[in-house]
């Protein structure tokens, strides 16, 4: 087994998004309590708000649990995004037609210029920074990385990246 040259573990850490979702959940709870504590309770509205609260809670749970693990070595690239992937995915270097390093500034990520419609399988928690891969089978992948400089050094060492 090849020794990992680059290993990275990412988790969702956008605190403002979690705070906004939590505030939305609290507002839904408060509004649902108002509907139920009226002299004539509105059970339909309270039920609808319960469903909204369950959806917001599910999104918060998923964001807290989501985790991306990326490993690069001489054999290829291995990645797994939990809880979405049940098993690790592996792309061997022999299967890769092109591998480009993508560095996008923080502001440019919000411009919309990085939107692609080529049926790319995107696995990233770090925006549009990482590896853009095209396989010989014609599949496109984007695997995100927060430590883009170390990834670039690793790819140069194993001679799989031309800058």
pLDDT at residue 75 above 60?
yes
pLDDT at residue 133 above 60?
yes
Task: Quickly count: other Cβ atoms within 10 Å of residue 38's Cβ.
Answer: 11
Residue 1 forms part of a structural domain: no
Residue 84 forms part of a structural domain: yes
Three-state DSSP class for residue 62: helix
Give the integer Cα–Cα distance in Å for 42 and 35.
5
Residue 34 forms part of a structural domain: yes
Residue 95 forms part of a structural domain: yes
Q: What's the pLDDT tens digit per position in 33-44?
A: 998 888 898 889
The domain in which residue 86 lies consists of: 6-10+68-157
The pLDDT score that the predictor gives to residue 116 is 59
Residue 74 forms part of a structural domain: yes
CATH number of the domain where residue 91 is located: 2.30.29
Same domain, 37 and 109: no
pLDDT at residue 108 above 70?
no
Q: What is the mean pLDDT of residues 20-49?
A: 91
- The pLDDT mean for the chain works out to 84
> How far is residue 80 from each of residues 17, 84, 138, 158, measured CA to CA in Å?
23, 8, 21, 22
Domain count for the chain? 2
pTM: 0.75
Tokens of residue 42, six digits:
């509105």
């Amino acid at each position: 087994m090849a020794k990992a040259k680059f290993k990275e573990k990412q988790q969702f850490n956008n605190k403002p998004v979690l705070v906004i979702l939590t505030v939305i959940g609290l507002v839904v709870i408060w509004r649902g309590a108002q509907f139920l504590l009226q002299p004539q309770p509105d059970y339909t509205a309270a039920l609808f708000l319960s469903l909204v609260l369950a959806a917001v809670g599910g999104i918060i749970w998923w964001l807290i649990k989501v985790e991306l693990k990326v490993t690069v070595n001489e054999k290829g690239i291995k990645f797994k995004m939990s809880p979405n992937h049940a098993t690790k995915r592996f792309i061997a270097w022999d299967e890769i037609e092109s591998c480009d390093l993508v560095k996008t500034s923080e502001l440019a990520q919000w411009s919309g210029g990085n939107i692609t419609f080529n049926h790319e399988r995107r696995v990233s928690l770090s925006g549009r920074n990482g590896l853009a891969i095209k396989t010989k089978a014609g599949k496109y992948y984007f695997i995100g990385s927060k430590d883009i400089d170390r990834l670039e050094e690793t790819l140069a060492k194993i001679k799989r990246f031309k800058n």
